[in-house]
Structure 1
């Protein structure tokens, strides 16, 4: 039943050589790898207004447009910079690979850790924002927003576990619907005011201004709006996911992404200044604009539905980018090797599941509130932007090949704007939650260095030199002893005993007594069974099973010499239903786990399968 459900949800297992069919072209690559950046415009303008409106009142809309203009300029600088990254690093990896190759291991790990945090935040923020769009249209659902958000994350996770090609088909079309729906609203919204003569009136009271514009206030608003630029990195990370020519296709997607953000983000910001939307907890700015442009008709609900979908789809960028990043870091030995393994549908399933787990934790911890999560957002991505651009700048300066001055200038400009933006975001958002990222990034880097040290230690100890030959075995001098632990005399024990007799004649049946009555019963049955093998009884007053067995093996009472082999054979019955394991005490598993830590003992498990009726 479990296998059938898994096949229904995830699909049939694909062969490894089918990987080439699991890559996408430009048409499907744009919505998958760009959905985060495209969707960020749905709440980036609102984030700017939220900072400005309480201080500036109606004047906020003018400065909102200026902040948007600065963000668009920053976006184009980053896009030109990342074009060069795509040319230089065709295997993907983005900031992590660039920083590690050109700046060193630690900067590379900082970039990888910062990006990993931001990818997880992308899933949490985008699904929370999608839930906000749903509750704006159906306010009665607001009390269930955490459950709705977690359900959306689970749906996204299942979709991505089905593989790159299927996820692009499932999640790509809604992204295009959103783009065209919003562009249509922008065009009609502008025509309605400037051609049809409509005079917009704010749906909600605009707060009165209580102060003047300052550099600090403008920079805070700018930092909040920079969430519109998250996701640009994903295209350079995901080059291997494109069909050939992968670099050319990735650059085309990056250029189309920049054009889309320019039109949608700029257009929505302009509509916000025309229709005077006011940030509120219960109704999004985008919903306020849509209801004034269209009224509460089909087109209003189309905007709300497509907005909710694209905000949720934004998580798809993280599902595409982070597993690939984790696979590269795991290949280098900085995170567990399990993240290099492809799943049934040829995606990096462990990375996909990891994102879902941590995103759900964030949603629960921050109560599904987008505004509480946003201060943590974008800090990590601009740290990675800065390190990536710095690495590329040093690459050109050191190589001095071709038009290196032109390329170094572009990346050098990218360094300055990325670093400046990272500092602005870090300072303005520090007390609101960015301090968490400043603690988690170094902690992750420390953890990754410890993992690398462990893998290096293991590799050094496992390394086999050609002069290390198999030892000569003399069975006349070296005996093979078998110890067979017994708790009760049953068929599982008999199967283990039958196996033990195939490998040695030196068999000892060993019982640890923790219950006198049970032990007496066992001895009586053993004597009746009469197989001609001695049984050793050791009493354990503290009910410890493993220690008496180990002490017996190491004691003079046991006849094994230093060159003899000692094998412990454990009978273990296996139930076919997963819940059956909960009903049994798993003594064999516990003993095996403890004995594996002893150098002079070999372990063999003999399974006995329990058939279900």
Structure 2
């Protein structure tokens, strides 16, 4: 039943030989890998404006110049990543490039920053999507957090179905959003030209609360630079494209940059000319759409597409985080389970892990886009800087054609992104408007990223050390040693005398002639009953009864097993555990789980082997002599 339900939700398994058919065309790849960057126009201009509005109208007037500076930075970063794509045609994300050219620590710093960035990509995109939704339906404001968690669950589920199918799911909303943005920008610019573009003033305009300083402008620039999030994803996912992979990836990242630049600049023009001021309950996109189209169906199409693209923007992280996690697992820096491809050829464990972390972040930050965004820019640009600096070293080592020009391009990218990372960290270090807890004077900010990244680096290195030690313990010697025959004692724990116990005893006798049954007597008065029944059903197997006046069952048994191994001087003690298995999963919860606790504790004790003998309900009912009473 569970398997059939899983097939409906996740889909049928895909054969490994069909992996090439899961590759993406440029049209689908733009939806899968660029939805994060493209959707950022729904929140980056707004968050930039909110920062500038602290200085009043003078600050708001700088919205367009800052947008132009951000797009200039985008052009530099995209040009640098185009070179990375051709230099690393099998995938050139920040981790791979930095580790190959700058060493282990730089690679792990890049990987840690990317992990933080991808989790924040999902959280920020979903939080902003909920902002757009409650702008159109204010009645949902109270359900902000759980709407975000539900959206993350849906995107996680879509990605578990595989890369190509997620591309099919996400392509239509992505292109509807692009079309609606172009339509709104085009019609808005036409109304500006004709002098008919008007935005209603806010009901409660806010006054300037801070002077217009360089620090404020740099902070707004750092927040607006979040529009470049997701640029890394295409260079890291080159192998997800159809052949020729590098050319298709390079063309896709260029198309993404052009579309993003047009939308970002266009919206900034409308914001500046219309003197748009967002409110707590209505976003900039909602205000512009309402001013351009009115309250008709087109307004709801714009808002609906914005909600969908922001939800689906999380897909960029879901496409890339599992791939990065698999690279780390391949290099022994992360659990090897993250390198496992599921039945749908997706890195299922990485997808589930990302969904869980992003949902926890939504809950922790109460779904606040403003609280999450400062963390975003620092992690993203730290990864950018590592990648671009590594590419300078790459060209210097390779010394191919035009290597100096290529190194110069990546050098400019490394310098600019490094400056932005420092600016983002300094200007958003702590925001008291978003306290870590009510009444605490410490606010959330970029300090959290500066703490988490070193912790991740240390954790990755510790995992690597563990795998190195485990490999030493598991490796075979050069020549097989001469072994003496192993000595094995078999023990059957008997809680009560019933069919599972007798089946386990029969199985144990098939393994060895040295079998002992053990009963822990928590109720001393029942000892005689057990001994009497054992005379009939024990088949000559010795029964040891351990009295437990403190009613503990597992601990006396563990002590007995340890003493038995020492006394008998055997290599292994095999514990054969009887288990009754009902038909339904929920019925299993109605039975004691002492067997599971025993197996768990013995797992970490050397010299013990635990074997379960399941006695199934259906098998018992279908057995003729099952109806014969034990007494």
TM-score normalised per structure 2: 0.92
SS of aligned partner of 2:495 = coil
SS of aligned partner of 1:465 = coil
1:546 Cα deviation (Å)? 4.6
**1:316-362: CA deviation from partner (whole Å, max 9, x where unpaired):** 10110101110111111111111111112111111111111111111
* Residue 356 (structure 2) aligns with: 357
* Residue 435 (structure 2) aligns with: none
* 188 and 551 in structure 1: CA distance in 2 versus 1, 3 angstrom threshold: closer
2:195 to 174, 181, 197: 197
- In 1, Cα distance between equivalents of 2:271 and 2:255: 24
1:182 Cα deviation (Å)? 0.5
**1:524-568: CA deviation from partner (whole Å, max 9, x where unpaired):** 211233511111112234444455445444548986235x55322
* Residue 602 (structure 1) aligns with: 609
Number of equivalenced pairs: 606
- In 1, Cα distance between equivalents of 2:344 and 2:455: 33
* Residue 442 (structure 2) aligns with: none
Maintained 8 Å contact 2:85/2:246:
yes
Query: How large is the Cα RMSD of the aligned pairs?
Result: 1.9
Maintained 8 Å contact 2:278/2:287:
no
* 363 and 232 in structure 1: CA distance in 2 versus 1, 3 angstrom threshold: same
Maintained 8 Å contact 1:37/1:228:
yes
- In 1, Cα distance between equivalents of 2:6 and 2:256: 35
Maintained 8 Å contact 2:49/2:63:
yes
* Residue 531 (structure 2) aligns with: 523
SS of aligned partner of 1:198 = coil
* Residue 501 (structure 2) aligns with: 493
* Residue 237 (structure 2) aligns with: 238
- In 2, Cα distance between equivalents of 1:5 and 1:553: 43
Maintained 8 Å contact 1:220/1:428:
yes
2:451 to 423, 435, 439: 439
1:102-501 alignment to 2 at 5 Å? Answer: 102-194=101-193, 196-204=194-202, 206-209=205-208, 212-432=211-431, 433-469=445-481, 471-473=483-485, 479-501=487-509
Maintained 8 Å contact 2:58/2:212:
no
- In 2, Cα distance between equivalents of 1:279 and 1:291: 13
Gaps spanning 5+ residues in structure 2: where?
A: 432-444, 622-631
- In 2, Cα distance between equivalents of 1:27 and 1:218: 37
- In 2, Cα distance between equivalents of 1:234 and 1:298: 34
* 227 and 554 in structure 1: CA distance in 2 versus 1, 3 angstrom threshold: closer
Maintained 8 Å contact 2:188/2:197:
no
* 506 and 556 in structure 1: CA distance in 2 versus 1, 3 angstrom threshold: closer
* Residue 441 (structure 2) aligns with: none
1:582 Cα deviation (Å)? 2.3
Matched, 1:6 2:18: no
Task: Decide which moves more: 63-72 or 582-591.
Answer: 582-591
- In 2, Cα distance between equivalents of 1:567 and 1:145: 54
* 217 and 4 in structure 1: CA distance in 2 versus 1, 3 angstrom threshold: same
Maintained 8 Å contact 2:565/2:573:
no
SS of aligned partner of 1:537 = strand
* Residue 41 (structure 2) aligns with: 41
- In 1, Cα distance between equivalents of 2:340 and 2:190: 53
SS of aligned partner of 2:545 = strand
* Residue 589 (structure 1) aligns with: 596
1:131 Cα deviation (Å)? 1.1
Task: Decide which moves more: 110-119 or 552-561.
Answer: 552-561
1:61 Cα deviation (Å)? 3.7
- In 2, Cα distance between equivalents of 1:289 and 1:527: 87
- In 2, Cα distance between equivalents of 1:479 and 1:324: 46
SS of aligned partner of 1:511 = strand
- In 1, Cα distance between equivalents of 2:29 and 2:536: 73
1:521 Cα deviation (Å)? 2.5
1:281 Cα deviation (Å)? 1.3
SS of aligned partner of 1:606 = strand
SS of aligned partner of 1:378 = helix
* 517 and 113 in structure 1: CA distance in 2 versus 1, 3 angstrom threshold: farther
Matched, 1:577 2:584: yes
TM-score normalised per structure 1: 0.95
* Residue 560 (structure 1) aligns with: 568
Task: Decide which moves more: 277-286 or 547-556.
Answer: 547-556
* 164 and 254 in structure 1: CA distance in 2 versus 1, 3 angstrom threshold: same
* 142 and 555 in structure 1: CA distance in 2 versus 1, 3 angstrom threshold: closer
Maintained 8 Å contact 2:565/2:572:
no
* 518 and 318 in structure 1: CA distance in 2 versus 1, 3 angstrom threshold: farther
* Residue 100 (structure 1) aligns with: 99
Gaps spanning 5+ residues in structure 1: where?
A: none
- In 2, Cα distance between equivalents of 1:41 and 1:557: 68
- In 2, Cα distance between equivalents of 1:494 and 1:41: 69
Task: Decide which moves more: 216-225 or 502-511.
Answer: 502-511
* Residue 546 (structure 2) aligns with: 538
- In 1, Cα distance between equivalents of 2:512 and 2:69: 79
* 554 and 161 in structure 1: CA distance in 2 versus 1, 3 angstrom threshold: closer
SS of aligned partner of 1:271 = helix
Task: Decide which moves more: 553-562 or 366-375.
Answer: 553-562
* 312 and 516 in structure 1: CA distance in 2 versus 1, 3 angstrom threshold: same
Maintained 8 Å contact 2:127/2:148:
yes
